[in-house]
Amino acid sequence: MVENHTRVGLLALFPPEADMDTSRRRLEEAGIRQEQITLLSPIPLAAPNTEAHPPFWPYGITIAAGLVGIGIGLFFSAGTAALYPLVTGGKPIVAAPVVGIISYETMMLMAVVVTFVTMILRIRRARDLTVEREARIDDGRLALSVRDIHHDQEATVRKIMEQAGALDIRSVSADLPLLEGQPSAHVVGMLALCCLAMAGCSQDMQEQQSYQSQEAPRLHSPSGSIPRDSRTVISRETLAADRMSDRAKELFRINCLPCHGESGEGTGPVAPYLKQLPANLRAPRVRALSSTEIYDIITQGKDMMPSFLGELSADERMVLASFVESMKPYSLPSQR
């Protein structure tokens, strides 16, 4: 780190006809290593001094990536089918043409993407070999960058550059902040999370329109009709015999009496403790209700009164409704 203060980089701008090979040679004679020198150009130059054969390793990476891609394709087209061997229409669970097609595509995908990523890494790594970007090369110039020069050598290098016809020489002492951004991994991550969250909920067709078991009754039978086996309602005619039966009284005593009282006048043992008085079942207001409406109130509850949907079966509620309906319209002295 200390050395950085004593070392500088030089960036020289040349006209396109300048003889860069000679300058390069002279720089090397002056003790500058080859890897310290980079040539910047607006278009790729046919470089005579680099090796005649381009290196093989980038191709090797692509081929390796392609092989990995084939593996991915194999996993998806053959592996997942073998994991969940579902038969469809006479096609084998693992079919060779399918495996071939999918593996071909994933091979290409991996090869292209990995080649691309390799190139990005190479470009970004090569950036460190050069002192700085020289924007003026795009106007048809060349630039020679010599980095990491010792202070003693700076004058020599400068001189060589001037002799080669440099239009302008800049000295760059420290690493300048480069204008660049990182691809935002956060954004990608958030998107992926959203996709995952979406995948978690699948509610389509869970709510069915058809009448399901354990479901509250929806409508009342037309009066006079007799359902075959009642899951929902009982017509009033079938209840005639049940009216005032012991069963109704028993149900009333258990479920209604605590609030409405034995006589139904709203004077049950719990009533004094309630904020709102229970209804007087013998009042004209209640007398005006049909047994169906009373049934609905028992089913759904009203004001303070809770719903008895879960407590009582439909039959029991209907029996109670009939019982309430049959109460005498005016108050009688309690028989206690």
- Contacts to another protein from residues 62-101, by CB under 8 A: 62, 76-77, 80-81, 83-84, 86-91, 95, 98, 101
Taking a C-beta distance cutoff of 8 angstroms, is the pair 334, 262 a contact? yes
Instruction: Tell me which of 10, 13, 134, 317 binds another protein, using CB under 8 A.
Output: 134
Minimum distance between the CB of residue 177 and another protein, rounded to whole angstroms? Answer: 11
Question: Can residue 50 be called a binding residue for another protein (CB under 8 A)?
Answer: yes
Q: Which is nearer to another protein, 71 or 289 (CB)?
A: 71
Q: Which is nearer to another protein, 59 or 269 (CB)?
A: 59
Minimum distance between the CB of residue 243 and another protein, rounded to whole angstroms? Answer: 28
DSSP tally for the chain: helices H, then strands E: 13, 4
Q: CA-to-CA distance for 241 and 331, rounded, in angstroms?
A: 25
Q: How far lies 119's CA from each of 115, 122, 123, 125, 131, in Å?
A: 6, 5, 6, 10, 20
Instruction: Tell me which of 135, 187, 240, 288 binds another protein, using CB under 8 A.
Output: 135
Taking a C-beta distance cutoff of 8 angstroms, is the pair 322, 293 a contact? no
Half-sphere exposure of 285 (CA within 13 A, CB side): 4
Site for another protein in 5-44 (CB under 8 A): 15-17, 19-21, 38-44
Minimum distance between the CB of residue 221 and another protein, rounded to whole angstroms? Answer: 11
Minimum distance between the CB of residue 192 and another protein, rounded to whole angstroms? Answer: 11
Q: Which is nearer to another protein, 126 or 188 (CB)?
A: 126
Question: Can residue 51 be called a binding residue for another protein (CB under 8 A)?
Answer: no
Site for another protein in 181-240 (CB under 8 A): 181-183, 195, 198-200, 202, 204-205, 208-213, 218-219
Q: Which is nearer to another protein, 95 or 277 (CB)?
A: 95
CA R_g for the chain: 46
Q: CA-to-CA distance for 264 and 327, rounded, in angstroms?
A: 8
Question: Can residue 123 be called a binding residue for another protein (CB under 8 A)?
Answer: yes
**In 71-153, which ranges are E strands?**
142-150
Q: CA-to-CA distance for 216 and 196, rounded, in angstroms?
A: 36
Minimum distance between the CB of residue 93 and another protein, rounded to whole angstroms? Answer: 9
Instruction: Tell me which of 7, 30, 132, 262 binds another protein, using CB under 8 A.
Output: 132
Question: Can residue 177 be called a binding residue for another protein (CB under 8 A)?
Answer: no
Instruction: Tell me which of 25, 127, 150, 328 binds another protein, using CB under 8 A.
Output: 127
Q: In this structure, what is the dihedral angle of CA atoms 69, 75, 78, 84, given to the nearest 10 degrees?
A: -150
Q: Which is nearer to another protein, 2 or 205 (CB)?
A: 205
Residue 109 CB burial class (10 angstroms; 0-12, 13-18, ≥19): middle
CA nearest to 171, candidates 9, 308, 1? 9
Q: Residue type for 49, please?
A: N
Minimum distance between the CB of residue 33 and another protein, rounded to whole angstroms? Answer: 15
